[in-house]
Amino acid sequence: MTEKKDLKDFYLQRVSLFGEKYEFYRKKERNSNIFRGLSFLLGVVLAVVFANFSALLLTISILIFLILFLFFVKQNVEFQTKKVFYNNLKLVNENELKALDNDNSSFDSGQEFMDKGHCFSFDLDIFGDRSIFQKVNRTATLGGKKLLAEKFLKPSHDISQILEIQQNSALLEKETSLRHEFFACGKIFSGDVSNQNIENLSSPEYFFTKTLFYKIFSIALIIITLAAILLSSLDFVSPYFGLIMFLTLQFVVIVNMNKTKTLNDKIEKNTKAFQKYSELFKVVEKMENVPQKFSKTISSKTKNFA
């Protein structure tokens, strides 16, 4: 009973602490938004005023306030990230408080892993509301959740593996702050589930780059189009020739536009995924005694991302 009370006091203190930090960065973010707006408006006003006096003053004022505006944009992003991070830490501790009172509804139940045909998981309520999975699940990534589910669906019978899992669990049990930080970092980027997977970046086949002939043709088309526009502007060739070449080039771009968008979307998703896992690796590296297995995993994953 005393241990449970100590845990409650511990989580309550952390809820209060992270709540204060959340409010601090929320106000910082709000003020940064105000200064960003003011710098933009002041820049516009001064640009209008200086436009009547000197082109040099106009250029200098635009550059100064553009730098100021970008500074406040960067600052705003940093404050927003910290605000979300501390709010996540606050939520983690609030959820643990609920868990002490046997309310695990805040944690993922693994409903998607329920399988009536499985030899024991369905009968033993391994997944679903008020399940064993929901009680122990503290995963921060889609991959982590799948791995935990696999441990339940295909439990190991190897004594050495079981002992290793117990030893690693005991090590992480002492790292409460680190575990909470890991979870909070993971939740910053978990809004879109698809962003948690590393997409295959193999370039889609573009119609005009399938063969060497088409590659040469596409490069030649760009050069001829630019030359045609230049020559038509100098009255060496008919303006219609330049227009026709320009429209031909636009046709090539439109034909391949969907494939370009698909590739761009993949790159954007991968950027978010890399950002997420990079932050999670940094958290793990803060452990004083990182198990050798974890160190090798971090090293190999980092090499794969490079």
**pLDDT tens digits, one per residue of 69-90:** 889 888 998 999 889 889 999 9
**Greater model confidence, 3 or 284:** 3
What pTM does this model have? Answer: 0.65
Whether pLDDT at 306 is above 50: no
Task: Express each pLDDT in 266-284 by its tens digit.
Answer: 777 767 667 766 777 777 6
pLDDT mean over 136-155: 87
- Most confident by average pLDDT, 175-184, 229-238, 295-304: 175-184
Whether pLDDT at 293 is above 60: no
pLDDT mean over 231-245: 76
Q: Return mean pLDDT, the chain.
A: 78
Q: How many structural domains is the chain composed of? A: 2
Single out the residue of 196, 94, 87 nearest to residue 145, CA to CA.
196
Q: Last residue of a domain, which of 238, 255, 272?
A: 255
Q: Last residue of a domain, which of 100, 119, 141?
A: 100
Is residue 229 in a domain? Answer: yes
Structural domain of residue 250, as residue ranges?
A: 207-255
Whether pLDDT at 299 is above 70: no
Is residue 200 in a domain? Answer: no
Question: 6: how many CB neighbours lie within 10 A of its CB?
Answer: 10
Is residue 199 in a domain? Answer: no
Report CA-CA distances (Å) from 257 to 222, 246, 250. Answer: 16, 16, 10
pLDDT at 25: 95
Is residue 240 in a domain? Answer: yes
Is residue 39 in a domain? Answer: yes
Is residue 59 in a domain? Answer: yes
**Greater model confidence, 155 or 283:** 155
pLDDT-wise least confident of 15-29, 170-184, 275-289: 275-289
pLDDT-based confidence at residue 298 (cuts at 50, 70, 90): very low
pLDDT at 203: 57
Buried b (16+ CB within 10 A) or exposed e, 122-143: eeeebbbeebebbeebbbbbee
* 47 contact partners, CB below 8 Å, separation of at least 6: 58, 61, 62, 65
Whether pLDDT at 37 is above 90: no
Is residue 49 in a domain? Answer: yes
Is residue 85 in a domain? Answer: yes
Q: Last residue of a domain, which of 215, 235, 255?
A: 255
